[in-house]
Chains A and B, each alone.
Chain A
Amino acid sequence: MIRRLAVVGLGMVLMAMTMAACGGDDDTVKAEDAWARTSAMMQDAGAVYVTLTGGETADSLVKAQAPTDIAAMTEIHETTMNDEGAMMMGEVPAIDVPAGTTVMLEPGGYHIMLMNLTAPLESGQEFDVVLTFETAGDVTVPVEVREQE
Chain B
Amino acid sequence: MRLRAALGAVAISVLLLSACGGEEAEPAGIVRDPAPDLAALSLPDAANGNAEFAFKADPGRLLVVYFGYTSCPDVCPTTLADVRSALEDMGDDAQYVDLAMITVDPDRDDAERLTAYVQSFVPESHALRTDDPDALWAVAEPFGAFYEVETAADGTVEVGHTAFLYGIDDAGLLQLQWAFGTEPGDLRSDFTLLVNRAKENRE
Contacts and interface: CB of A to CB of B under 8 A. Distances in A.
B73 A2 contact: no
Interface residues of B, number: 33
Interface in A7-45: 37, 40-45
Contacts of A81: 180
Contacts of A76: none
Interface in A100-114: 107-108, 111, 113-114
Contact of A148 (B81, B113, B117, B180): B81
A122 to B, nearest CB: 12
Chain B interface helix/strand/loop/mixed? mixed
A82 B163 CA distance: 11
A40 B75 contact: no
Contact of A40 (B77, B85, B183): B77
Interface string B86-112: 000000000000000000000000001
Interface residues of A, number: 32
A79 B180 CA distance: 11
23 contacts: A37-B77, A40-B77, A41-B117, A43-B70, A43-B73, A43-B117, A44-B70, A46-B73, A84-B146, A86-B147, A86-B148, A87-B75, A89-B74, A108-B180, A108-B181, A111-B73, A111-B74, A113-B74, A114-B73, A115-B156, A147-B81, A148-B77, A148-B78
Interface of A: 1-4, 37, 40-47, 77, 79, 81-82, 84-90, 107-108, 111, 113-115, 147-148
